[in-house]
Amino acid sequence: MNGQMMSAPLLISSLITHAARHSGDVPIVSRRIEGDIHRTTYSQLHDRARQMAHALGGLGVQAGQRVATLAWNGYRHLELYFAVSGSGAVLHTLNPRLHPDQLLYILDHAEDQVLFFDLTFLPLVEAVAGRCKTVRHFVAMIDKDKMPASKLPNLLCYEDLIAAQKPDFVWPTFDENTASSLCYTSGTTGNPKGVLYSHRSTMLHTYASVMPDAIGISSRDCVLPVVPMFHVNAWGLPYSCAMVGAKLVLPGPALDGKSLHELIATEQVSFAAGVPTIWLGMLQYVEQNSLSLAPLQRTIIGGSAVPPSMMRSFEDGYGIEVIHAWGMTEMSPLGTVCRLRQKHLADPLDVQHARLEKQGKAVFGVDMRIVDPQGADVAWDGKSQGDLLVRGPWVVQSYFGPDGAQPLVSDETGAQWFPTGDVATIDADGYMQITDRSKDVIKSGGEWIGSIDLENVAMAHPAVAMAAAIAIPHPKWDERPLLVVVRKPGTEVTREELIEHYKGKVASWWVPDDVVFVDAIPIGATGKMLKNKLREQFKDHRLPGV
């Protein structure tokens, strides 16, 4: 017997209609590639999104077809979020940091019909335009008077498209399982794989992410998503901010410390979201110039493990709460967020800090397991490590396309789980901590060494700007850790001093066998260190005593 409540599908268009109706005058502030600061509101953005939805129809985009973007965080990109998905097409956000060949592969694989791009990426678009098979229109997201001279075929101006339409588009109603958006993983091996989100998965993720124990934003917040809208929908913030009617500040291409600091100060940003590497830059800038970060109250950091030293800088130096989160493209992306429970508030401060360094608890809707190589559950004791499996309504079922792999594994009850590729512990209170990517694991004498732990210890040294611990083959122990370090400008530290620095902080057999200094560690398209590149680079490194 069914309940007798209204059947109302969960649709992304409801986010912008709700925001326009209930928070119509709330500002959306963007730093544009035109160079200026642009201001609009949810109500105006709703109008323009509806104009753009008309324009998409005019370009022949049909329900289910993919519309690609190559764009920074800005109001036009946000308009496309609602115009494309809201009208029943699929928003395909491309990562501009990918190699042109990978981009071409993705464009063809997704069969994108239209490509919207910021001018920054004109050279990239020109490099692939002649070769991609399905794109029929290229649209420059720029004011009319700044349209570039380009030989791109069918090059259109975003503002022309908008100007030609009325804001009277009526958002269609359809099945909530309809595809809404597409994002490819930045697979370090093999071809990138597409994750095809649905309206339902996106809306449930949005509801869940807004909870006080998750991202926890409200209509009293001013939110700065530094995390890019081209990667996993900027952790869903374009959606969740519309849901609660929060002011949005979109940083455009300027992700340097100075530009971010300026936005935080002038726009009174209360909540920011980004990956650790971005915040490293901003903290350095703010420190060097003895600036304040006054309006900022909370920042959510994920994408890679947050070094504890960064947490302390934010909290002790600036009184900013750091919220550690974990997720992945295949999870829309939110999996866990680290928040203290009531009973933890009575713990000594250092115990609280240690807990907050974990990746945190499953957001309601996500189920987690850690398993051994045989697939048996590993104890939730905060010590035993296992492969992390997840499931839930915003977790991938299969990858996009006819060749789309089905990544799930079944448990003994037949339930299906997504193997994250992360290795983790979970404690009795349900707090998960990533110890490694399974492919980055260092296995010494049959036992795991946590590379993230080793990196966090290194990062706590005042002279270390960035550090990666990688496995080097070893005749006796199979593998031993090598620490690869980037020094902070103007500082000195030796191999011996760093090895000494580990004493008492980790088990003695965890201490790296060697340290090498480099100018830079390669960073991938989504801000993560490319350890496979490092392993390649140091594959012939000779450890001392070998």
Ligand X SMILES: Nc1ncnc2c1ncn2[C@@H]1O[C@H](COP(=O)(O)O)[C@@H](O)[C@H]1O
Ranges within 422-441 binding ligand X (CB under 6 A): 422, 434, 437
Closer of 331 and 472 to ligand X (Cβ): 331
Q: Where are the alpha helices (DSSP H) in 253-348?
A: 257-267, 276-288, 308-312, 318
Question: Which of 209, 359, 385, 425: binder of ligand X (CB under 6 A)?
Answer: 359
Could you say whether residue 4 binds a copy of itself (CB under 8 A)? yes
Q: How far is the CB of 71 from a copy of itself (least distance, A)?
A: 22
Spatial neighbors of 484 by CB under 8 A, at least 6 apart, are 467, 468, 469, 470, 515, 516, 518, 521, 534, 538
Can you say whether the dihedral through the CA atoms of 16, 21, 22, 27 is positive or negative?
positive
Q: Where are the alpha helices (DSSP H) in 88-153?
A: 100-110, 122-129
List the catalytic residue out of 185, 202, 299, 329.
185
Amino acid at 483: L
How many residues belong to the site for a copy of itself (CB under 8 A)? 75
Spell 509-541 as b/e; 16+ CB within 10 A means b. ebbbbbbeeeeebebbbbbbbbbbbbbebbeeb
526 binds, among ligand X, a copy of itself, none (CB under 5 to 8 A by kind): ligand X
Could you say whether residue 404 binds a copy of itself (CB under 8 A)? yes
Restricted to residues 255-284, the positions that interact with a copy of itself (CB under 8 A) are none
Could you say whether residue 409 binds a copy of itself (CB under 8 A)? no
> For residue 333, is the peptide bond before it cis, meaning its omega torsion is within 30 degrees of 0?
yes
Measured in residues, the chain has a length of 546
Restricted to residues 195-234, the positions that interact with ligand X (CB under 6 A) are 232
Restricted to residues 92-151, the positions that interact with ligand X (CB under 6 A) are none
* N-to-C CA span, the chain: 71
Interacting stretch for ligand X, rule CB under 6 A, among 21-29, 40-48, 321-329, 442-450? 321-329
Restricted to residues 429-458, the positions that interact with a copy of itself (CB under 8 A) are 429-430
Amino acid at 202: T
Q: How far is the CB of 323 from ligand X (least distance, A)?
A: 10
Q: How far is the CB of 338 from ligand X (least distance, A)?
A: 9
Closer of 328 and 483 to ligand X (Cβ): 328
How many residues belong to the site for ligand X (CB under 6 A)? 21
Question: Which of 96, 192, 216, 303: binder of a copy of itself (CB under 8 A)?
Answer: 216
Restricted to residues 525-544, the positions that interact with a copy of itself (CB under 8 A) are none
Which tokens belong to 530? 């490319």
Question: Which of 44, 420, 425, 456: binder of ligand X (CB under 6 A)?
Answer: 420
The verdict on whether 394 is a catalytic residue reads: no
SS3 label, residue 32 = coil
Interacting stretch for ligand X, rule CB under 6 A, among 114-122, 328-336, 402-410, 509-517? 328-336
Restricted to residues 367-386, the positions that interact with a copy of itself (CB under 8 A) are 367
Can you say whether the dihedral through the CA atoms of 369, 373, 377, 381 is positive or negative?
negative
Interacting stretch for a copy of itself, rule CB under 8 A, among 20-28, 106-114, 274-282, 452-460? 20-28
Restricted to residues 246-305, the positions that interact with ligand X (CB under 6 A) are 302-305
Spatial neighbors of 322 by CB under 8 A, at least 6 apart, are 298, 299, 300, 301, 306, 310, 311, 314, 315, 356
Could you say whether residue 393 binds a copy of itself (CB under 8 A)? yes
Report d(CA 212, CA 170) in Å as an integer. 33
Site string for a copy of itself, 81-120 (x = CB under 8 A): ---------x------------------------------
Could you say whether residue 463 binds a copy of itself (CB under 8 A)? no
The verdict on whether 330 is a catalytic residue reads: yes
Answer yes or no: are the C-beta atoms of 251 and 91 closer than 8 Å: no
207 binds, among a copy of itself, ligand X, none (CB under 5 to 8 A by kind): a copy of itself
Which tokens belong to 330? 């295949």
Restricted to residues 156-185, the positions that interact with ligand X (CB under 6 A) are 185
Question: Which of 24, 167, 401, 421: binder of ligand X (CB under 6 A)?
Answer: 421
List the catalytic residue out of 146, 443, 488, 505.
443
List the beta bridge partners of residue 50. Answer: none
Report d(CA 292, CA 491) in Å as an integer. 24
247 binds, among ligand X, a copy of itself, none (CB under 5 to 8 A by kind): a copy of itself
Report d(CA 126, CA 123) in Å as an integer. 5
Give the DSSP letter string of 375-395. SPBPP-SSS--EEEEEESTTS
Could you say whether residue 329 binds ligand X (CB under 6 A)? yes
Long-range contacts of 133-140 (CB under 8 A, 24+ apart): 133/107, 133/108, 134/107, 134/108, 135/68, 135/107, 136/59, 136/60, 137/59, 137/113, 138/114, 139/114, 139/115
User: Which sequence positions are flagged as catalytic?
Assistant: 185, 330, 443, 448
Please report, as ranges, the residues that interact with ligand X according to CB under 6 A. Answer: 185-186, 232, 302-305, 324-329, 333, 359, 420-422, 434, 437, 526
